[in-house]
Amino acid sequence: MTLCVTLESELCTGISDLVPDDNGLFYQLAMRRGLDKFELLKYVDLYGRTVFNAAQMPVVERELTELLSEISVRWDRDFLERAAALAVRGASSPHQYLVFIGD
């Protein structure tokens, strides 16, 4: 299961490169432990598109950082770190959207 994250403009054009979850970590976390405790990450559709706006991105970044605290393997951390960085970057502009693209 491959999930990607990117920043898009309000016209759905890419602002950043796609950040792929090559190891399927997010999918594994969702299936193994669930994401129900998270305010926003629990709504990520693993098979479709999930869009977060600038007002939501600080919450998404905080939740991704919380997930990071549970991961010790470096290559697994890469996706979460890069996705959190996109959330920080996107929160700085009201017309950017953090998009999770499921398989």
Task: Give the chain's domain count.
Answer: 1
Selection from 26-35, 36-45, 65-74 with the highest mean pLDDT: 36-45
| Cα angle, residue 41 at apex, residues 35 and 89 outer, rounded to 5° | 145
3-state class (DSSP) for residue 25: helix
Question: For position 1, what pLDDT does the model report?
Answer: 64
Residues of the chain with pLDDT > 90, as a percent, come to 72
Q: Which residues lie below 8 Å from residue 40, measured CB to CB, with a gap of 6+?
A: 52, 56, 59, 60, 63
pTM of the model: 0.92
Residue 64: closest CA among 45, 90, 50, 82: 82
- What domain range includes position 73? 4-101
Looking at the predicted structure, is the pLDDT value of residue 30 above 80? yes
pLDDT band, residue 3 (cuts 50/70/90): very high
